[in-house]
Amino acid sequence: MDTRSTRQQRAPASKAGPAGQADVRYVEIDDERAGQRLDNFVTGLCKGVPKSHVYRLIRSGQLRVNGGRRAADYRLQAGDSLRLPPMRVPVVQPATAAGAERVQRARAALGERLPVLYEDDSILVIDKPEAVAVHGGSGVSSGVIERLRAALPQARFLELAHRIDRETSGVLVVARKRAALLALQAQWRQRAPAKRYLAVVAGHWPLRAKTLSFPLRRLAAPDGDRRVVVHGQGQEAVTRVRGLARFEVEGAGALSLVEAIIETGRTHQIRVHLNYAGFPIVGDDKYGNYALNRRLAARGFRRMFLHAASLRLRHPESGAPMDLVAPLPAAFAALLRSGGVDPARFDEAVHDRPVEPAALPGDNGARA
């Protein structure tokens, strides 16, 4: 552990554990480490400990901050005292070393195939494919960050600057320097980045903008699964939704392409808001219309149709404004074409500008 950035001492009455298992220890967070998520910090600090084990310790309350429980996404603050319980580090036997090397090579190959939208010495921006988690854990062997680290072994620092759902595709920013990570995290805390999503929803959404402002609460689940509901005592959540195109697909009925801009960043925010408004996202297996999802899956449309299309922020070092854009996914284009809609009209990567609602034949100009 880097003793320049954290101070560590053993608990006064701790005892040595079994082989491969450390004693209870305490870590004080300084200014350099402040701002990191609890789960990310512990995973980086405790090399070799599976992330799934870290999550279990957080959920069970064995891993504590200032003597109390904290969620995995808690942002550490300077002066926080972190209690780390004994953790068993797997001992790699010679027979399994070759297997671990094969896994690492496989991860590297997957990481090399991740589409890069932009890169420099400070950040790496990729177009995350759908069905790929941003990090491993909770039943996921590896995610984007593990694949990138395997593909770029020379990189001294690679950390996620933010997150998007596993089922969502699109713009994802990775920091290549700690200073860049802290600067980006500061922008997110100030709600400065402008995040624009595209989604296909069930039903005909009006071709105009509407603000969805429903407070959200995350429900605890024993298996670690995350589910979010609209709740009067929940956290503030604001999503601005604009209809872009309305169309119909045989066997699926009325569908709409919408733009969603989030002013807050709650878990599953867009998915829950649209479902609560009566327009579930197509292919959403948690909050969506299951019967509709099955009918579309039979036609080959099996993904969740939510895409992080663009992200506007400031470069973490120069401060220059950046517009990061991910192309419209092929599955989106295919679904739009099946409804008689030209997908090129809604691909910001093609037009290099925000898209406008379409006046489509048979839509009767409806905007209300």
Active site residues: 165
Per the listing, tokens 């953790």 go with 87
Question: Computed from CA positions of residues 138, 143, 145, 150, in that sequence, does the dihedral angle turn out positive or negative?
Answer: positive
Residue 133 structure tokens: 């988690």
Tracing tokens 């984007």 back to the chain, one arrives at 144
Burial (CB count <10 Å: 0-12, 13-18, 19+), residue 228:
buried
Whether the Cβ atoms of residue 117 and residue 310 lie closer than 8 Å to each other: no
DSSP bridge pairs for 209? 242
Distance CA(206)–CA(278), nearest Å, equals 13
d(CA 110, CA 199): 26
SS3 content of the chain, % helix, strand, coil (to 5): 25, 30, 50
